[in-house]
Amino acid sequence: MAAACPYQARISKLGASTRPRVLVPTSGSGNFGEQGASAFWTIDELPGALRNMAEGRSGKSKDGMERVDVDLGPNRCAFTVDHILSGDEADALAACAEAILDANGHSRVAPGINTPPGILGRATRDQFEGCMRVNEAAHWYPSREVAPQFLGVIFDRIKDLVPQHLENGLPLYPRLSEKVAQFKYNRGDAFNRHVDGLFPGQGANARGDGVEEWTGVVSGFSMLLYLNDYESDGLEGGETRLWTADGSRHVDVRPKKGRALCFRRGSPNAVLHAGLPVTGDVPKYMALINLAYGEQVGTKPMMV
């Protein structure tokens, strides 16, 4: 079972020392469209590898960080950048998800999301087409104090490699949107074909009891961070499949620890994609963080 594998044991041990707390109670959707109670979480003190990112290997050097475009034809932008996270940083971020999942009972209800209904039952390769999302969900915002130590460093590492403007002219915002949507995929778990929608830039408020939306700032690209892989941790399956605009061709991107996969979201040019099933006993951990675009003109509380 996944809980007995050495990689899972290591991540669980790391997560045991992380203390998440509920930031905003809310509702959400489960794997098959069912509604349920959920929450956005926060972490006031990050694991050491995330607190010290600016002093780490990648904080001093961007060697090995090269953008590689994924060929999806015209009007579809996707690319990978390796070594955005070190191995220790990837493990620490996976441990953040595991700490929240331990606290929320390994919930499959994602906060603030309306999952389309699908079949009732666990997803397998044969069932994959019948449901939308089958995974455990841990969505959180770093506290206002620690966000620069973590998300600020990731932005600094990737900012010169991403589009500086959207096709509508909106400029790259000098911060990542601060929602960290993490998912854990156990054997058979998958995410069916979909496109990511438009969300405002957002982050935890200064009081640490809510979320602010950044008026004038929107999500332009999804950035998937792969936190484990086959070579380091024994992960099998879990590729991200990306389609061309006409759906006639696809490209599979294999998880690689520390890799970022970025693609257009929230527009007619958004990339259709899916998370293929995990086929082994080692779970797949990933984080979704959005590249933000626009010019901020204010803030307002996020409605939940």
Asked if 280 and 196 touch (Cβ cutoff 8 Å), the reply is no
Residue 1: the pLDDT is 42
**150: DSSP letter:** I
Place of tokens 């509702």: 27
What are the tokens at 171? 């400029």
CATH number of 2-301: 2.60.120.620
| 287 touches 181 (CB < 8 A) | yes
Query: What confidence score (pLDDT) does residue 115 get?
Result: 67
Q: What is the CA radius of gyration of the chain?
A: 18
pLDDT of residue 133: 85
For 45-57, b/e burial (b = at least 16 CB within 10 A) is: ebbebbebbeebe
Q: Report whether 134 contacts 122 (CB < 8 A).
A: yes
d(CA 253, CA 258): 13
- b/e map 5-21, b = 16+ CB within 10 Å: bebbeebbebbeebebe
Q: What is the 3-state secondary structure (H, E, C) of 86-135?
A: CHHHHHHHHHHHHHHHHHCCCCCCEECCCCCCCCCCCCCCCCHHHCCEEC
Q: Residue-wise pLDDT tens for the chain (304 aa)?
A: 444 689 999 999 999 999 999 999 999 888 877 888 999 999 999 999 999 998 765 444 466 799 999 999 999 999 999 999 999 999 999 999 999 999 999 999 889 877 666 543 333 444 444 567 899 999 999 999 999 999 999 999 999 999 999 999 999 999 999 999 999 999 999 999 999 999 999 999 999 999 999 999 999 999 999 999 999 999 999 999 999 999 999 999 999 999 999 999 999 999 999 999 999 999 999 999 999 999 999 999 987 6
Q: How many CB atoms sit inside 10 A of residue 210's CB?
A: 16
3-state class (DSSP) for residue 9:
helix
Is-contact 302 267, C-beta < 8 A?
no
Residue 239 near residue 185, CB atoms below 8 Å: no
Where do the domains of the chain lie?
Answer: 2-301
Strand partners, 128: none
Contact 28, 110 (CB under 8 A): yes
Q: Please tell me the predicted confidence (pLDDT) of residue 63.
A: 62
